[in-house]
Amino acid sequence: MNMTRSQVARRQRIQDSVFQYSTQFFAVTVLIALLGIIISLFKDAWPALHQFGFGFFASTEWDIIGGEFGGFVPIYGTVVTSFIALLIAVPLSFGIAVFLTEICPNRLRRPFGTAVELLAAVPSIIYGMFGLFFFVPPFAEYVEPALAGTLGQIPVIGILFSGAFNGIGILCASLILAMMILPFITSIMRDVFDIVPPILKESAYGIGCTTWEVICRIVLPYTSTGVIGGIMLGLGRALGETMAVTFVIGNAHKISPSLFAAGSSIASTLANEFGEAEAGAHLSSLFALGLSLFIITLIILSLAKFMLIRMEKAKGVKT
């Protein structure tokens, strides 16, 4: 096995270029897959978009027999449930992450942290079944009447908390979603809070800052990118969540001002109707819904990116 130096060098060069091209190839497959999805979604959604035009996104009609389709109801359901889920999950996750990184005694960090991660590992259908069988009955019996009796009495927003106490509905789906995205946001927040250099925090504590001040002035500014990334990941999961939402959202193709009422999301509509949809306007409209979900995700990701760039600029040059 005597190889000259040039042979070794040649061999290494080949290895390097093979390695380089193969990793490049792997990266490109992602792009190809993404492009393929967009093209096929658009191709299959085209008949519906062509027939109903841009009105598809604004129409609340979903008449399978009459062949009239509009995507506003599921789009509304998707956006509203995800928004409420974030409204609940973000402050909670923030609290948990702060507790785990700043306040929790060391020996409790691991069990708490593992518990949060385990919550993330629960399959979504389990959340759906848990929601329908254990969460909905007490929610309908105690929580909804209590909400109607308190928040429901406030003028203007009171209408959000009115109507029959069925348990199943937009609010219930939002709460289950909040529970599902909580571990994602929490673990990312915890991980990024952990990477704040101790010297920064210790200096702040040294000049007499309270824990709250350290969190707001040191930790959050240092980790803003990561925190927003975590929230976006949670939002992404909430937007596309299918099974759990299908179980508890009520699957009614209607928009009601009340959050107690049943509704539907894009993912739940697809899960319910895709299997039995006849080729034609119905199937094509379902593809158009899938495309809408894709577009919503794209818009939200772009907004997040835009926000990050603005924040970076406001902070000036970061090292």
Positions in the binding site for other proteins (CB under 8 A): 62-66, 132-133, 136-137, 140, 164, 166-168, 246-247, 250-254, 256, 261-262, 264, 268, 271-273, 275-278
Residue 206: CB minimum distance to other proteins, A: 57
Q: Is residue 296 a contact partner of residue 267, using CB atoms and an 8 Å limit?
A: no
Least Cβ distance, residue 264 to other proteins (angstroms): 8
**Which residues make Cβ contacts (< 8 Å) with residue 58, sequence separation at least 6?**
70, 72
Tokens found for residue 264: 């539907």
Q: Which two tokens stand for residue 146?
A: 């209590």
Smallest gap from Cβ 123 to other proteins, in A, equals 17
Of 16 and 63, nearer to other proteins (C-beta) is 63
Report whether 172 contacts 248 (CB < 8 A): yes
121 vs 278 by CB, closer to other proteins: 278
Could you tell me the two tokens for 32?
A: 């190809």
Min dist. Cβ of residue 76 to other proteins (A) = 16
Measured from the CB atom, the residue of 152 and 183 that comes closer to other proteins is 152
CB nearer other proteins, residue 260 or residue 294? 260
First to last CA, the chain: 49
User: Least distance (Å) from other proteins to the CB of residue 276?
Assistant: 3
CB closer to other proteins, 97 vs 172:
172
CB closer to other proteins out of 218 and 245: 245
Which tokens sit at 155?
A: 């003028």
**185, burial (CB in 10 Å: exposed 0-12, middle 13-18, buried 19+):** buried
Q: Tell me the closest approach of the beta carbon of residue 11 to other proteins, in angstroms.
A: 23
Count CA within 13 A, CB hemisphere, residue 114.
4
CA distance 184 to 92: 12
Instruction: Assess contact for 223 and 192: CB atoms under 8 A.
Output: yes
Q: What is the Cα–Cα distance from 56 to 69, expressed in whole angstroms?
A: 7
